[in-house]
Amino acid sequence: MIMYCTRNVTEDLVWVGGNDRRLSLFEGVYKVPYGVSYNSYLLLDEKTVLLDTVDKAVGGIFFENIEHTLNGRPLDYLIVNHMEPDHCAMIEDLTRRHPETVIVTNAKVAGMIKQFFNFDIDSKLKLVSEGDELSTGKHNLTFIMAPMVHWPEVMVTYDKTDRILFSADAFGCFGAINGALFADEVDFYRDYFDEARRYYTNIVGKYGAQVQALLKKASAVEISMICPLHGFVWRRDFADYIAAYDKWSRYEPEKQGVVIAYGSIYGNTENAAEILACRLNELGIRTKMFDVSVVPASEIVAATFEYSHVVFASATYNGGIFVKMEDLLHDLAAHNFQNRTVALIENGTWAAMTAKQTAEILGKCKNLNILEQKVTIKSAVKQEQNEAVVELAKAIAETLAE
């Protein structure tokens, strides 16, 4: 007997993906404490259509799900929207199990299939471009190119019949699907929104302009359901989620407030950061603090997309920026960190360097307001620096929107 773990998305669309709760680092970088899902969808129309495959970690359950759902029918089409291995890993296995399957995709994907795999794809290929249609019986599918959301070959598929957007990595979220497939089956904004932000900012945060382009194309069609490649399916009330994507991809903060990221070896720079946080809160300003030595840069990157202001407080380290802080700054620059107000605190026992060097790294970033007022500590906070921190809190307060 074939075991299976599937859920119907609609009457004739079935989720045949899998969950990984043992992955230590997604993409080798990101912690996934609640696991991650690899979504694949099987449409049972007059023709059968699989939309993307899954990561090899869940390959076994994926094939059980497919065979159970097909129930002896052939698999007519595989649509490949995205060639990242967490979604495409099972393509070659699939073609061995289902030699009848025609692969429907764009030319860039086809090139990548050849790069990743060794089977003869040309004999199986049906190439599509922007706006092409595939009729599968009741359903008419069309293809929308979404380059760099978040690889260059990405496209999304729109089911015109049921108005379903198969959105590839867009609108995804970290976190395994624990039986609840739909976002409305969990308390998404309480339990998953932070994970969705961390997913967006780190995975596609760099490509705001391309996400904007996709949002524009998507706004031209009526959408009643969004089926991403990770996380929950959205079948209702997704306007707020699309609005969050719009905000993130325009690099607009969600909230007025200050992220304070500090790098401190012996606690004195941390002390300055703590004092600043106290003074800001006394002024009614919300703060979120991170010790860069213990919090992964990816979590701090996500927080900088949330808040309007960021303070970097760093000890000087062998003539440079404290190593973990330097990692964070490069990570931010790589994620197109922009459109924020920034303040700097530096510490050096003999020659503080970090304010200047931080400003140099951030010099690559667009539309940053780096406050001229900085605080320089020489080893430990003294009366003079205490006063300077108070002044910095006031200067930050002046730049906050009402």
Residues forming contacts to ligand FMN in the complex (CB under 6 A) are 264-269, 315-319, 347-352, 379
Closer CB to ligand FMN, 29 or 265, in the complex: 265
Q: Find, among 189, 203, 205, 199, the residue nearest to 250 by Cα.
A: 205
| Residues 198, 179: Cα–Cα separation, whole Å | 22
**What is the smallest separation between the CB atom of 373 and ligand FMN, expressed in angstroms?**
20
The smaller minimum CB distance to ligand FMN, of residues 205 and 348, is found at 348
Q: What burial class does residue 118 get, using C-beta atoms within 10 Å of its C-beta: 0-12 exposed, 13-18 middle, 19+ buried? A: exposed
Cβ of residue 343: shortest distance to ligand FMN, in angstroms?
A: 17
CB of 347 to ligand FMN, least distance (A): 4
Contacts of 27 (CB under 8 A, 6+ apart): 86, 203
In this structure, what are the phi and psi dihedrals at residue 276, rounded to the nearest 5 degrees? -60, -45
Instruction: Identify the burial level of 122 via C-beta atoms within 10 angstroms of its C-beta, where 0-12 means exposed, 13-18 middle and 19 or more buried.
Output: exposed
Residue with tokens 């300003």: 285
What is the rounded distance in angstroms from the CA atom of residue 173 to the CA atom of residue 38?
10
Between 104 and 325, whose beta carbon lies closer to ligand FMN?
Answer: 325
- Shortest Å distance, C-beta 19 to ligand FMN: 42
Q: Cβ neighbours of residue 391 under 8 Å, at least 6 residues apart?
A: 373
Spatial contact of 19 and 35, defined as CB atoms under 8 Å apart: yes
Comparison of 69 and 357: residue with beta carbon closer to ligand FMN: 357
Please state the closest distance from residue 265 (CB atom) to ligand FMN, in A.
3
Q: Minimal distance in Å, beta carbon 320 to ligand FMN? A: 7
- Which CB, 6 or 379, lies closer to ligand FMN? 379
Residue number, 349 or 373, with CB nearest to ligand FMN: 349
Which residue has the CB atom at the shortest distance from ligand FMN?
A: 348
